[in-house]
Amino acid sequence: MTVLQHVEAGTYYVVEMPEPDDFEFWRERARALVQCDVPPDRIAWIEPGGSGDLFAHGERRSPMPEEGARPVRANRRFVSLAKNAILHSDPDRFALLYRLLWRLQSSPRIMEDKADPDVRRMEELDKNVRRDSHKMHAFVRFRLIEEESEDGELREHYVAWFEPEHHILRANAGFFMRRFANMHWSILTPQGSLHWDTDTMREGPPAERSNAPGGDPMEDLWRSYYASIFNPARLKIGAMLKEMPRKYWKNMPEAALIPELVAGAQKRESTMVEAGTLEFEERPETLAAIDRAIHACRKCPIGELDNQAVMGEGPRDAALMIVGEQPGDQEDQAGKPFVGPAGQLLDQHLERAGIDRGSAYVTNTVKHFKYVQRGKRRLHQSPGAKEIDTCRWWIESERAIVQPRLVLAMGASAARGMLGKTVSISKARGAPIPLEDGSELWITAHPSYLLRLDGAARDEQSRLFDADLAAVRERLEELQA
Ligand code: URA
């Protein structure tokens, strides 16, 4: 008997999902259906709570694949996108994923086809879900309540209300657990709730906004802090709404201050301009806009030297961002990053590690070349902490646009540019540092450092550099699988 004979002609299968984010359940069912050759148009995938009544005559039992049925093919990229895309609120997502899995059996390279409508839709779902998680990380605000514990002690409990667009609550439990490991907290949402007691995570039922506390003295503190950092020169209502949609404002104590701050903004801005402390304008939204802006940037004395700003280069959606310190003499003349001796050494090591430089976005922490003139020569000077901190605005803006999965910071200046604090390269290298947007930072030495060494010290540092790059390549493959 062939596998095909196993599925009765005309049978219509109905799969009722127990949870909207249950990838494992979907995977198990999808695998059996593919192995039994059930085409996508013979399956109705039903959301929990969705109406399966329309398919009352459909077969609810999963078909049983034959012993020795051929294994289901799914490459790592499909699986990693599918795990995220399934969290999307689009009711058609289960069917879309099945259709792609089905097509993968005869076209194993389909995930590489950027023009394929199913692949594009899956990538879009993945992106929307990642954005929703990012917003959750940024906009969940805990409010303090004091409650009595079982042993009669008063204890602090932090409660947040949040309305995600997609089914991301469970998937983000780990993030909040790690970040607030020592607090008792609850996150309430219309889809369900999470409760952490410093030891165990519990899931609870959906909640309503009125279940969450409305305000507390901590919020006053937060509000005054927010008022003090509110920068009227950055006030662009459209951009603010985009970054922090109104939907999230209502949960954020500082949002209560916004009308007041907006009213006072113009006055404060003119005072700041007079005092010479006008801050950066709103974040540029394209790489071309950053390029224009850095050429005009004179926020620190380096921009006043006889040099030109050097913009990062590489694909706008690169998974890897490589960050150096600042352009050198040759980069300044060419207007391109890493084209001089450090760049050539970097290229050799990247090649050895199997990293294609052309697929990475390569940039610098400080955008202008800092130097002192000695006769005809311009000698490199390291940027100071203040200059790096001022220039961080640009690298952050580049990251917001490119959204790399992994950032490789080379040298102490790049590490500071990424983290806002000084770290020791020898301690920080070799392991990922999670960043707030879900990407990872890896830190290594700067190739110019290798160029300054010789003999055994150079060999040793080259070996360490190679090892860091090899780890980055491996991790990137995992992240992109
Ligand atoms: N060193 C850097 O950090 N960046 C360059 O672009 C060149 C040398």
What is the DSSP annotation of 353-383? HT--GGGEEEEESS-S--EEEETTEEEE-PP
Q: Is residue 32 lining ligand 1, measured as CB closer than 6 Å?
A: no
H-run or E-run covering 321: strand 320-324
Q: Is residue 361 lining ligand 1, measured as CB closer than 6 Å?
A: no
From first to last of its 481 residues, the chain has per-residue pLDDT tens of: 333 344 555 778 999 999 999 999 999 999 999 999 999 999 999 998 876 666 667 788 888 888 888 889 999 889 989 999 999 999 999 999 999 999 999 999 999 998 999 999 999 999 999 889 888 887 787 777 776 666 777 777 888 889 999 999 999 998 888 777 778 888 999 999 898 888 888 888 888 887 776 655 455 554 554 455 555 555 555 555 555 555 555 555 556 665 666 556 545 544 544 443 434 556 788 898 888 888 877 778 898 888 999 999 999 999 999 999 999 999 999 999 999 999 999 999 999 999 999 999 999 999 999 999 888 899 999 999 999 999 998 999 999 999 999 999 999 999 999 999 999 999 999 999 998 888 999 999 999 999 999 999 999 999 999 999 999 999 999 998 8
Give the residue, out of 336, 364, 408, with the most ligand 1 atoms within 8 A of its beta carbon, to mutate for a pocket test.
364
Q: Is residue 172 lining ligand 1, measured as CB closer than 6 Å?
A: no
Q: Looking at residue 139, what is its pLDDT?
A: 77
Q: Is residue 313 lining ligand 1, measured as CB closer than 6 Å?
A: no
Q: Is residue 364 lining ligand 1, measured as CB closer than 6 Å?
A: yes
Q: Is residue 337 lining ligand 1, measured as CB closer than 6 Å?
A: yes
Give the residue, out of 307, 338, 382, with the most ligand 1 atoms within 8 A of its beta carbon, to mutate for a pocket test.
338
| Burial call 9-35: b when 16+ CB within 10 Å, e when fewer | eeeebbbbbeebbbbebbbebbbbbbb
Give CA–CA dist 459/465, Å, rounded. 10
Q: Is residue 327 lining ligand 1, measured as CB closer than 6 Å?
A: yes
What is the whole-number distance in angstroms between the Cα of residue 332 and the centre of ligand 1? 10
Q: Looking at residue 1, what is its pLDDT?
A: 32
Q: Is residue 363 lining ligand 1, measured as CB closer than 6 Å?
A: no
- CB-based contact 346:462 (threshold 8 Å): no
Q: Looking at residue 274, what is its pLDDT?
A: 44
Q: Is residue 417 lining ligand 1, measured as CB closer than 6 Å?
A: no
What is the whole-number distance in angstroms between the Cα of residue 363 and the centre of ligand 1? 8
Answer yes or no: CATH 3.40.50.450 is held by domain 286-480.
no
- CB-based contact 160:212 (threshold 8 Å): yes
Q: Write out the residue limits of the CATH 3.40.470.10 domain(s) in the chain.
A: 286-480
Task: Report which ligand 1 atom has the smallest distance to the Cα of 411.
Answer: 3
Q: Is residue 312 lining ligand 1, measured as CB closer than 6 Å?
A: no
Q: Looking at residue 233, what is its pLDDT?
A: 54
Give CA–CA dist 391/386, Å, rounded. 9
Q: Is residue 21 lining ligand 1, measured as CB closer than 6 Å?
A: no
Q: Is residue 390 lining ligand 1, measured as CB closer than 6 Å?
A: no
Q: Which letter does DSSP use for residue 162 in this model?
A: -
Q: Is residue 132 lining ligand 1, measured as CB closer than 6 Å?
A: no
Q: Which letter does DSSP use for residue 436 in this model?
A: T
Task: Report which ligand 1 atom has the smallest distance to the Cα of 336.
Answer: 6
Give CA–CA dist 478/177, Å, rounded. 23
Task: Report which ligand 1 atom has the smallest distance to the Cα of 337.
Answer: 6
Per the listing, tokens 């049925």 go with 69
Task: Report which ligand 1 atom has the smallest distance to the Cα of 364.
Answer: 4
Q: Is residue 350 lining ligand 1, measured as CB closer than 6 Å?
A: no
Residue 145's closest CA among 219, 209, 43, 228? 219
Give CA–CA dist 263/80, Å, rounded. 46
Helices (H), 86-164: 93-106, 117-139
Give the residue, out of 308, 331, 395, 446, with the most ligand 1 atoms within 8 A of its beta carbon, to mutate for a pocket test.
331
Give CA–CA dist 33/63, Å, rounded. 6
- CB-based contact 84:130 (threshold 8 Å): yes
Q: Looking at residue 275, what is its pLDDT?
A: 44
- CB-based contact 96:121 (threshold 8 Å): yes
What is the whole-number distance in angstroms between the Cα of residue 327 and the centre of ligand 1? 4
Q: Which letter does DSSP use for residue 18 in this model?
A: S
β-pairing, 201-204 with 371-374? unpaired
Give the residue, out of 332, 379, 448, 450, with the most ligand 1 atoms within 8 A of its beta carbon, to mutate for a pocket test.
448
CB neighbour list of residue 343: distance below 8 Å, 6 or more residues apart: 330, 331, 337, 447
Burial group, residue 368, by CB count within 10 angstroms (0-12, 13-18, 19+): buried
This prediction has a pTM of: 0.51
DSSP states of 166-218 = SS-TGGGHHHHHHHTTTSEEEEEETTEEEEEESS-EEEE----GGGS----HH
Q: Is residue 324 lining ligand 1, measured as CB closer than 6 Å?
A: yes
Q: Is residue 297 lining ligand 1, measured as CB closer than 6 Å?
A: no
